[in-house]
């Protein structure tokens, strides 16, 4: 329970930082030169991510987090 509460606190803090900081955060549409590059996307290489997810899903007890961690194969 303690761990769960801790994680909730972390989540709430990050959410409130995001929400309260909105006025000073962000860019204008013409300032997106760097952000629009492929290497600045959150999943810059979906193929690498898919292959990695499959390896770690079958070798470790954790999965998902960034995306869905559900079923898919009998490897675990």
- Would you tell me which residues interact with another protein (CB under 8 A)? 3-4, 7, 10-11, 14-15, 18, 22, 25-29, 31-35, 37, 39-40, 42, 44-48, 50-51, 54-56, 59-76
CB of 74 to another protein, least distance (A): 3
Q: Which helix (H) or strand (E) holds 7?
A: helix 2-20
> Half-sphere exposure of residue 45, counting CA atoms within 13 Å on the CB side?
6
CB atoms within 10 A of CB 6: 10
CB of 75 to another protein, least distance (A): 8
CB of 35 to another protein, least distance (A): 6
- Copy the structure tokens of residue 16: 């409130």
């Amino acid at each position: 329970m303690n761990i769960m509460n801790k994680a909730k606190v972390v989540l709430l803090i990050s959410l409130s930082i995001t929400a309260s900081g909105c006025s000073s955060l962000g860019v204008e549409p013409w300032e997106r030169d760097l952000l629009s590059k492929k290497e600045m996307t959150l999943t810059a290489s979906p193929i690498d991510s898919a292959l990695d997810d499959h390896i770690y899903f079958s070798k470790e007890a954790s999965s998902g987090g960034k995306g869905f961690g559900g079923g898919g194969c009998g490897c675990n």
